[in-house]
Each structure stands twice: as C-alpha cells, then as structure tokens.
Amino acid sequence: MWRCFCHIPIISFAMLKLTNRLKQVADFVEPCDCMADIGTDHAYLPAWLILQGVVKRAIASDIHPLPLQNAQKTIGRYGLQDKIALRLSDGLTEFSPRDGVQTFVFAGMGGELIADMLSSTPWLCTPQTDLVLQPMTHFEDVRRALGKFGFTIVSEAAAEEGKRLYLVIRAKYSGEVCDFPEWFCYAGLLAKSEAQTDRMLLQKILARLQKKADALRGVEAIESARLSALIKEIQNESC
C-alpha cells in the first residue's frame, strides 16, 4: 500500500470526509499537541484532525460505552491506535489538567448540557484552554456561561448541512468575567457578521423568538413584551 511520509496509509487519508458541520468545528481547532473531543461518538473529528496534521494526539471521550466502540472502529480503520486515547467520562469528570489538553471540543450536544459541563469544571479556566463548541440548542446558555467563566468569544460561524444550520463557537480563556447583555447571549457575533449563512441563522433565531413572543401574548404579557424588546435590540445591534 502507498504510504505518505508520516506513515499514514494514503488510501485511508482520502476516505475520511467530514460533514459541513464537523468541518466547521475542525476549522476552529488551532494546531496543538492535544485536543479532547467530549461526546465523540464515532471519533471522526479527532481522527480527521490527526490525519490532517492539525493536532498530534487526542482523547476521544463519551459518556456511553457504545459510542466508544464506534470510536474504536474509526481508530482501527485509520491506524490511529497510538494517537487517540478513548475515555469513558460524563463530561469532564474523568479529566484533569494533567491530561495536557489544549483544546476541548463539545459538539452535537444541547447548549444547556454544554453550559453545565463548563460550569462544573473550574480548572478549565486557564489561559492554556481553548474551547470549540457546537451546541444544538440554547445558544444563549452557552454564551452566558462563557462570559461568566472568563472566556472571550473569538469567532462564530454558521454551517449549513441539508436544511439545517448549525452554530460553531470558538472561545479562549481571557480571565475577563463578563455578564453579556441579553441580546449578545442570543445573537453573539452573528449579529455583526455579513456572511450569508450567519445572517440566515440569525434570522432563524429571531423567528424562533418571535414565535415564542406571539405564543405568550395574552398568556404571559410581561414575558411576551420582554421578548419583543429583545428582538428589537438584536435587530438594532445587527448590521
């Protein structure tokens, strides 16, 4: 079999292709020695990052044994046994600073769960930590938690896959604890972006808020008015 200079079979290298969503997650991972993929399932992301030379080693972690069996198959298929370690862990409970992880990825999970996992791991708050987050829901909880724990949101991007749009956030620890204004918790950097997919995702977020405000009108008038004011604020802040 043909081999490239780093002893990874070329045929395998060509076969692993990420979906748009995971590709956007991968694009936000900066080159580093070690990354951890929390809630990894098939471990496609860490495998791709290693095959592309973005990271040298990875820890692929999941709360359930079955996804780790999926991950094991991917690791075997691409010959990455000495580069990717598997770990059964609920969030970061089985991790510590001794693992030497520079970038933690949390992708494909609910925003509330991601925010909870960040909140219960105070040792993450060091300048060595980068986060790449792809919440499926409740983006506002994730941004709120980042501000509260001193992370600065460096970039955001929407990824389009089929009929769905996904948000990906990159954050670095800065130590600047910040109570983000409510409009920012909901819209984040999307508000100032001119990229078409980012604008489309922002419109979806606004439509969701509008639907909620309409449903509450006449039932919870104060909450409905609060949401209407929030929508106006996001519209004013966006370019």
Ligand X SMILES: C[S@@+](CC[C@H](N)C(=O)[O-])C[C@H]1O[C@@H](n2cnc3c(N)ncnc32)[C@H](O)[C@@H]1O
Of the pair 79, 110, the CB lying nearest ligand X is at 110
> Which amino acid, residue 104?
F
> Which amino acid, residue 127?
P
Among the listed residues 90, 94, 161, 223, the single contact to ligand X using CB under 6 A: 90
Task: Verify binding: residue 130, ligand X, rule CB under 6 A.
Answer: no
Of 50-58, 104-112, 140-148, 177-185, the segment contacting ligand X by CB under 6 A is 104-112
Task: Verify binding: residue 73, ligand X, rule CB under 6 A.
Answer: no
Q: Which run of H or E residues covers position 213? A: helix 196-216
CA gap 28, 132 in Å, rounded: 7
Task: Verify binding: residue 18, ligand X, rule CB under 6 A.
Answer: no
Shortest separation between residue 181's beta carbon and ligand X, angstroms: 29
Shortest separation between residue 144's beta carbon and ligand X, angstroms: 19
Among the listed residues 26, 28, 36, 39, the single contact to ligand X using CB under 6 A: 39
Among the listed residues 46, 91, 111, 135, the single contact to ligand X using CB under 6 A: 91
Task: Verify binding: residue 47, ligand X, rule CB under 6 A.
Answer: no
Task: Verify binding: residue 211, ligand X, rule CB under 6 A.
Answer: no
CA gap 237, 49 in Å, rounded: 35
Task: Verify binding: residue 38, ligand X, rule CB under 6 A.
Answer: yes
Q: Which residue has the tokens 């995702």?
A: 201
Task: Verify binding: residue 103, ligand X, rule CB under 6 A.
Answer: no
CA gap 116, 73 in Å, rounded: 30
Which ranges of 44-176 does DSSP label H, i.e. alpha helix?
Answer: 44-51, 65-77, 111-119, 139-148
Task: Verify binding: residue 107, ligand X, rule CB under 6 A.
Answer: yes
Shortest separation between residue 62's beta carbon and ligand X, angstroms: 5
Task: Verify binding: residue 85, ligand X, rule CB under 6 A.
Answer: no
Of the pair 9, 108, the CB lying nearest ligand X is at 108
Task: Verify binding: residue 63, ligand X, rule CB under 6 A.
Answer: yes
Shortest separation between residue 137's beta carbon and ligand X, angstroms: 12
Rounded (5°) CA angle 205-18-207: 10
Rg (CA), the chain: 19
Task: Verify binding: residue 62, ligand X, rule CB under 6 A.
Answer: yes
Task: Verify binding: residue 40, ligand X, rule CB under 6 A.
Answer: yes
CB neighbourhood size of 134 (10 A): 24
CA gap 66, 238 in Å, rounded: 43
CB neighbourhood size of 194 (10 A): 7
The secondary structure of residue 107, as a DSSP letter, is E
Where on the chain is the footprint of ligand X (CB under 6 A)? Answer: 22, 38-41, 62-64, 67, 90-91, 107-109
